[in-house]
Amino acid sequence: MIEAVKKLADFGLNNIKFRRIEIRCESTNLKSRAIPEKLGFVFEGTLRNDDLSADGSKLTDTCFYSIIK
């Protein structure tokens, strides 16, 4: 998964000329959080009670990462 996200981010920044790419994931999903951290994205913060959990039973916090060229 990390390779796919890296290729997409590189393509967006270098070919499409995006200036900013954002990644959001549930705060409890440590595997998803590891991807932007390993790729050099900056942790910008946590949005509290931002979205429903995958099973729709409760509100969850969302971690917010970005990379800027």
Q: Are 53 and 34 in contact (CB under 8 A)?
A: no
pLDDT over 90 percentage in the chain: 88
Q: Select from 44, 54, 51, 46 the least CA-distant residue to 21.
A: 44
**30 has a pLDDT exceeding 90:** yes
**Where in the sequence is the domain holding 19, given as residue range(s)?**
2-68
Q: What is the pLDDT of residue 53?
A: 84
In three-state secondary structure terms, 30 is helix
Other Cβ atoms less than 10 A from the Cβ of 29: the count is: 14
Whole-prediction pTM value? 0.86
* Overall domain count for the chain: 1
**What CATH number does residue 30 fall under?**
3.40.630.30
